[in-house]
Amino acid sequence: MNSAIRRLAVAAIILMLALMANSTYLQAFRANDLNGRNDNRRVRDAQFSVDRGAILVGSTPVAQSKPSNDRFEFQRSYPDQIATAYAPVTGFYSYLYGRAGVELTYNSELNGSDPSLAFRRVVDVLTNRRQQGASVSLTLNAAAQLAAYSGLSGKKGAVVAIEPKTGKVLALASRPSYNPNDLASHDLDKVGATWKKLNEDKTKPLSNRAIKELYPPGSTFKLVTAAAALSSGKYNPDSKVRSPAFLELPQTTVGLVNEDRKNCGGSDNATLTVALRYSCNTAFGTIGLDLGADALREQAEKFGFGERQLPELGAAASRFPADPNAPQTAQSAIGQFDVQATPLQMAMVSAGIANGGDVMKPYLVQNVKTADLKTVSETKPESLHQAVSPEVASKLTQMMVDVVENGTGKAGRINGVQVAGKTGTAQTSPERPPFAWFTAFAPANDPQVAVAVMIEDANVPRTDIAGGTLAAPIAKKVMEAVLGQ
């Protein structure tokens, strides 16, 4: 054999070995990634022929597959009367645009390809049954979810409710919303037109405001500042705090003022309880300057700031500014400057206080079950952080009860039930309306639900925007739904 033929043979062998290595690599290490890609049309065609599992709230499907008379064999369907209410959670299942929400993060379980369902697939093959996906059961409370969604009618905003003792998400609503049936349709021209319309809509109906958008929390953040103050040992609920109508700040001519331009509850030295009752900016600015940014940041992080929660939906991490100067620290203490939070995060703050200072890890999926109802996986409650001591949590609870009974949170009252809450109105710029907030839990002596409501825009005059007037009534309805009121 001459040298040219030998070189050609060696090159062919190398190419063959490279092809075998690449094939082995793709099948052994990249198969799941490639199969899971939203743009993999071959896999998608096959998956559309699978009887995809249902997404359930209680025993009610909020997403399910039904037989279809076209080449895809099954049509993903969302009950029309509640589809938009659950869309931020279920997401969509679309031939053209892939998946979102639980449809995305639990795709392999829903389509039956997950490794945990291997035995089930073997049984299906042996019994000559069509492959079926597993069902995914959510923690949502149907009454609370619908109360949250209907409460947001005509508004841009979001609601999150949590069971304090476990971290179960009981409601997660965002509005404006969309109908996932329009994206799951097998009329691909219609789907394309819908997608274009949704993405061009300035109200951002595809945005999950409850967990993925960050907002200034305003005065609801004063709960974090109060927690830091009480935990420091320097303050108690009856401690006097400097609270004039105008608080001068170091390094700047711009100071802090209270909303009514007066001192706090008729005193330049209000107690911490009174300061929270009337949400006095100057008092909490004073505390922020006294404690410093590091203490506030540390307290915020104990409530979950800086961490991404709900991997089921990919929540954004709330944040406290990295290195604020003194005036910026005073602004941060009242939930302004660069403090940014999701409604989920502020619900976690209330839930942590309600649960004796123990912040539970929020979760949305209760369990996954095969078509024959065998449990594949189940979520167990898990403690995230001990944000404050039980003693501090008890003091904060009583201060929050005072806010609802005697202060800015009166619209959150529930007959026969003691509610603990905090209002917030966050300023941004003169060009846009303030954000209205309310976070609360009930009953105060045996908490069953903690809730946060954020109103981005209610289409009302600027002077009518306040957490106590816009957000608190919605929170009340959600809490009543959970409590069966």
Catalytically active residues are 219
Handedness of CA 121, 125, 126, 128 (dihedral sign): positive
Tokens of 326: 């003194």
Task: For the chain, give percent helix, strand, coil, nearest 5.
Answer: 40, 20, 40
The Cβ of residue 199 has, within 10 Å, a number of other Cβ atoms equal to 11
Do 159 and 478 touch, CB atoms closer than 8 A?
yes
Longest dimension (CA), the chain: 105
Amino acid type, 57: V
The Cβ of residue 120 has, within 10 Å, a number of other Cβ atoms equal to 21
Do 350 and 393 touch, CB atoms closer than 8 A?
no
The answer for residues whose C-beta is within 8 angstroms of residue 333's C-beta and 6 or more apart is 221, 222, 225, 284, 285, 287, 288, 289, 291, 296
The Cβ of residue 427 has, within 10 Å, a number of other Cβ atoms equal to 16
Do 423 and 402 touch, CB atoms closer than 8 A?
no
Q: Between helices 142-151 and 472-483, what is the axis angle to 10°?
A: 160
d(CA 98, CA 100): 7
Do 335 and 217 touch, CB atoms closer than 8 A?
yes
Tell the residue number behind the tokens 């502020």, with chain if given.
Answer: 346
Q: Among 337, 336, 349, which Cα is nearest to 305's?
A: 349
d(CA 257, CA 263): 9
Helix locations, 26-93, DSSP H: 31-36, 41-47, 83-90
Q: Among 333, 387, 312, 316, which Cα is nearest to 136's?
A: 312
Query: Quick one: how many helices (H) and strands (E) in the chain?
Result: 18, 19
